[in-house]
Structure 1
Amino acid sequence: MSRRGIFAAMIAVCVGAAAHGAPENAQRTLRWETVVHAPVQEVWDAFTTQEGLESWMFPRAIVDWRIGGTLRTHDDPEAAQDDEGWFTHRVLAFEAPRMFSTRAVYPDDMSTPPVVEEAWSVVRLDPISDRLTRVTIAFCGLTVVPEWEDAEQYMNAGSASVMARLQQRFPPPTEHAGTTTPDPISRAAVSLRFVENPIVAEQIVPAGRAETWRALTTSEGLESFFAQKAIVDLRIGGLYELHFLPDAPPGARGADDCHVLAYVPEEMLAISWNAPPPFPAEREERTFVVFRLEDAPDGATLVRLHHGGWREGAEWDKVRAYFVRVWPHVLDALAARLGGEQGQ
């Protein structure tokens, strides 16, 4: 398995499978999981910084870490930026240091293999303790092709290679380990780290993840508790608009021109978001919101919300303060609706 690991494995098997027949309509998500001996921030840096990627997966990496930015990697440690052979992923969404989503960008001279034409990846990092992190990789939106079993087997092999390499990067501590020193990735990555002050809220709702997911990702669901009118096109880049004032002029109806950034069905939804109309300059920019769904006791669902992407300035502080007040009410309304009460 090459240094490109799972990413190269995915591309290779997709090309081979696509050559043997037309794809079917069904889509699937594949998941792989491991536990590594490192704090969640160090694992995050290993995936999202140049120093981190070059320490375990790729000899050469260029990282532009922002939504819409890119991760460019190369097998040649001396490769120049304009050399051929770079492999590129676009950053779709992230919730530092817990989750990020990327999508492969194919060269102009390469047709997109049908099996990955709509696919994207989501990496989730869950701290187990201050020195252990669970790493879950989900490859979403895969189109089932006639040779799906072969494709799945090959991708499983690629994922095993990646997980093994990651565990080598963060080996278990030795029995007689002495004084530890700060991880060089964490030190070097400080200047690259996305600095923000996210809004974080959570709510347990009296419904399973499937029903909660429908409430957050369908027009009918959103209109039952959140907005008078909702437009949802659940795909990467699809519209996610909520109209609180549907009769207002376009652009002043609410969450206008917001989009789906990434998702894992019934687990995670990331969307772009905007400021309310009283803040016209800030409204031209986009923040992002991540909903994560987790099983809770008695068939309920824990909904975790992360609203990030804030800028500096007095007006931005006002926008943030507005959503600090709003989001708990939204989650309360979701819980009430799923509990059988009529939404607003």
Structure 2
Amino acid sequence: MRILVLAACWLTALAGEAAAQPVAQQVAVSSCTRTETDGSRALCHEAVLPASAHDIWMLFATSEGLRSWLAPVAAIDLRIGGMWEASYDASARLGDPGNIRNRIMSYLPERMLSIQVANAPPGFPHAERVAELWTVIELEPVSAGETRVRVSMLGYGEGEADDALWRMFDAGNAYTLQKLGERVGERR
């Protein structure tokens, strides 16, 4: 989140700016950050949300779901190699060069989605480095009506670029889970 995803989660150029905006309903987002066995750093955030894994999956894995909480312009082609495209600019159109594009690396329906930045917007800091990171979004049912959502952004090493991206996505990915929690709360 943000990517993420992520990315994207999770995953977005404007996540740092968005993190400064007030949040209407607080979701308990916790850190699960870790160092992997190969020495790389994994940025990780998670939250238990009051919805089924199916319902949360639909918010990540469909264009309509993404537009309902992530960004006003968003689409996903859910297949290996497919694209997850988004823009926070409501006047943007799919295919615009300023949009964020993440390539789908793998997925397990209602359980996991992994993405990697395929195209960072013009002027994105450390664009060459962010393209080497990837995000894994995991959904783990806790009960019939609750799901743990974990967003791990992997591949961080040492150095100025990695540290700058870490700070940006640390705030952005936590904000993205907050927004997802707010969206899930609206459905109750």
**TM score, norm. by length of structure 2:** 0.72
Amino acid at match of 1:55: S
Counterpart pick for 2:130 among 109, 116, 123:
116
Query: Could you tell me whether the CA contact under 8 Å between 1:37 and 1:173 is conserved in 2?
Result: no
Please say if residues 115 and 142 of structure 1, whose CA atoms lie closer than 8 Å, have aligned partners that are also in contact.
no
Aligned to 2:177: 163
Which residue is 2:82 aligned to?
69
Q: Deviation per CA, 1:97-139, whole angstroms, max 9, x where unpaired?
A: 1001000012597796454342110000001111100000110
Contact persistence 1:5–1:159 (CA under 8 A): yes
What amino acid is aligned across from residue 132 of structure 1 in structure 2?
E
8 Å Cα contact 1:116/1:141 also seen in 2: no
1:328 counterpart residue number = none
Q: Does the aligned pair in 1 maintain the 2:15–2:171 contact within 8 Å?
A: no
1:263-342 paired onto structure 2 within 5 Å: none
Counterpart of 1:99 in structure 2 is: 112
Equivalent AA in structure 2 for residue 165 of structure 1: K
Higher mean alpha-carbon deviation, 150-159 vs 52-61, is at 150-159
Task: Please list the CA deviations of residues 177-200 of structure 1 after superposition, one character each: whole Å capped at 9, or x if unmatched.
Answer: xxxxxxxxxxxxxxxxxxxxxxxx
1:124-181 alpha-carbon deviations (Å, 9 max, x no partner): 000111110000011011232147655534322212211111110112887xxxxxxx
1:281-314 per-residue CA deviation (whole Å, 9 max, x = no partner) reads xxxxxxxxxxxxxxxxxxxxxxxxxxxxxxxxxx
Indicate the residue corresponding to 1:125 in structure 2: 139
Relative to structure 1, the CA distance from residue 95 to residue 144 in structure 2 (aligned partners, 3 Å threshold; closer, same or farther) is same
Structure 2, unmatched stretches of 5+, are 3-7, 17-37
For the 8 Å contact 1:115–1:144, the answer to whether it is kept is no
Higher radius of gyration, 1 or 2: 1
Between Structure 1 and Structure 2, the one with more helix by share is 1
> Aligned to 2:148, which of 128, 131, 134?
134
Cα separation, partners in 2 of 1:163 and 1:88, compared to 1, 3 Å:
same
TM-score relative to the length of structure 1: 0.41
Tell me by how many angstroms 1:48 deviates: 1.2
8 Å CA contact 1:119, 1:140 repeated in 2: yes
CA distance in 1, matches of 2:106, 2:39: 25
Task: Name the aligned partner's letter for residue 119 of structure 1.
Answer: L
1:7 aligned onto 2:11? yes
The structural deviation recorded for 1:66 is 0.5
Corresponding position of 2:71: 58
Which of 57, 61, 65 lines up with 1:44 in the alignment? Answer: 57
Match status 1:79 vs 2:92: yes
Aligned length: 160
1:63 deviates by 1.5
Q: Cα 1:137–1:97, aligned 2, differ >3 Å: closer, same or farther? A: same
Is the Cα contact below 8 Å between 1:125 and 1:135 reproduced in 2?
yes
Aligned Cα root-mean-square deviation (Å):
3.2
Q: Which moved more, 1:132-141 or 1:75-84?
A: 75-84
* Partner residue in 2 for 1:90: 103
Give the conservation status (yes or no) of the 8 Å contact 1:116–1:143. Answer: no
**What CA distance in whole angstroms lies between the structure 1 residues aligned with 2:135 and 2:149?**
13
- For 2:120 and 2:41, locate their aligned partners in 1 and report how far apart those are by CA, in whole Å: 24
The 5 Å alignment of 1:212-231 reads none
